[in-house]
Structure 1
């Protein structure tokens, strides 16, 4: 056995217990190690060089054992790199890639793939952006949180631009029998046609799909001499005209004490009910937006709507079933196609209740007029208006352009009476 080198100083003497947590790294064999083969030689130390990570090859596929590293090949590759600064290297990279592709083709032959590389749109996501894997419920919660923040921002913006009308008092309107008599107007005519606090709602496609499969009413019903007068509708080729009511707590005119039911428009035929259910499901996110708007503008009103809906769900199984696809707190929607709604008050609403109106379609110019305030509001696709429709008379003027669809969200006094509730209107702060 050849003479071994002396014990390094950093190792403890023989037969001495090594301290705990001490790591003794050495390339020299210890006296207890077996004898090394005669042909074993230690290679000289290489100059200190930090090499970049480089893929290694193995003798067995999928195994990390028996790793070989070909230094000669590495040096050959390094010598092929251009010298100079980073700019020269970046300029040479395309040429290096082309050369590499040519060498691979010589080794493996031409590629048999004849398809083009997918673009970002074709592949469905950009490079490095993979599907999140979130569930549908998680995506919905994320969307709701997003537009709640958006609604809060819009309401704060509207509050910062508050306008006071000296000629109208909500308190007086609630304590008097409001009618459509000519108001005493002293306010100068105002027209709001800016883009402040707008929420874009592109919904005309789904409403048109409903309107083509259901029977629209135009000029009939108990309101045939009021809002639903036949002359209020604009009839044009390729466009729809009429009204369709989706109400989940309906009382027929003259029967306020009967149990509430679904509106007849929903249940007239099985195909109409199916179309209504499809629309309610598609409107789910929009309905949550409406709820969020109510909560931001009038938290007390929002809480009272929640209490009312809780009573309805306890009493009616059909309401509980529809709640699974329709989160709207209000029970009523009136969908109006191409209607110039004449001046009217929402007499069926509870005193002080809100009506939420939004409009969509392909027209370009339109206005909503509130005569008691002598105010014209821009009413174009995507605009949302929230007003107390029982106290403020309002009308929809003629518009410029094509198909116009407006949706009124409401709650009626009859359903509050059925469940023994009374809407409490808090004074404005």
Structure 2
């Protein structure tokens, strides 16, 4: 473990700094917009802009890296991202913020693509799973810690936007000082979404509907808390609790799904998340809301990894990156629509419209999962791929899931199929 950590330490440091700035920026922008009197629908448009850019960036980032190289692409995109944070502090205009948020999404996925492709090149044959796990721990840890950055200064001033710009700029230091050889540029895998939808519809639908729920959370949960009367410190604690719950509960949920019917686990986890969301409007106090969000994060953050694992269960090893890339696009599209749909519900029902919206979306996913379970037989535990905790990232990170374990599972299934086919 020491060897692989030493090999990727600079990359992990850049990830930590970048995600700290990104996590602080996302929550800060929402709170600042709410304090400036932006309507919930406008805030939904602003937060949707990031995911629109994120999805678009899955196609453009590879071309940018091929043209400029990894380090220059990282510097180019980090400069744009840091300057966008500062522009937000200078010009308080919702329509400008929407455009800036789209651009930020485009450059942020390019930044993550650079890091993830480098991680792939550094990971050896026997430690790809460990590399992926370290990467996700750093991602979630930085996002959770970033929420506490709101305590540094008031949201109405210039300071917090400057802190965001500083951390994004600092992310340049470890990666530009590394002596590691730049990885080769790999072409984006050809999309086969129609194929995946044909033989793994539950995985694809789960990615889309979990995106509808998670996009609404990332975009509007700070607004929900702000309009319930939480102060800035309270919002930061609620967001950190949700992310921490997602980080801590993904592992036991995932391991349980590895040793049983994954679709059954997905069904119960989905209904649990829907029930927790439905309880939020009835919470008697702010502390109870925080507890519910922490538990909800543990369930809801597991849905996309469960969907990816459900798809990978049925893929050849060489199809994993293409399948994961398509799942990322589906979730990204759901995440882009989520804030808009949730904002419309909140405009109608008030702040409690957010948990009601999330509960309805997840209940629909649970019902569909139950329907699919009754139509298709499950894989046995020995045939299933290992669950890996994750947060929304680039498709390149998913190449780390193409481990020897998955190759062994595929070969075992092929052998069983041949054996059953013999007279």
| Band of TM-score, shorter chain | under 0.3
Richer in helix (by share): 2
Q: TM-score scaled to structure 1, two decimals?
A: 0.21
TM-score normalised by structure 2 residue count: 0.21
Larger relative contact order (C-alpha < 8 A, sep ≥ 6)?
2
Which of 1 and 2 has greater Rg?
Answer: 1
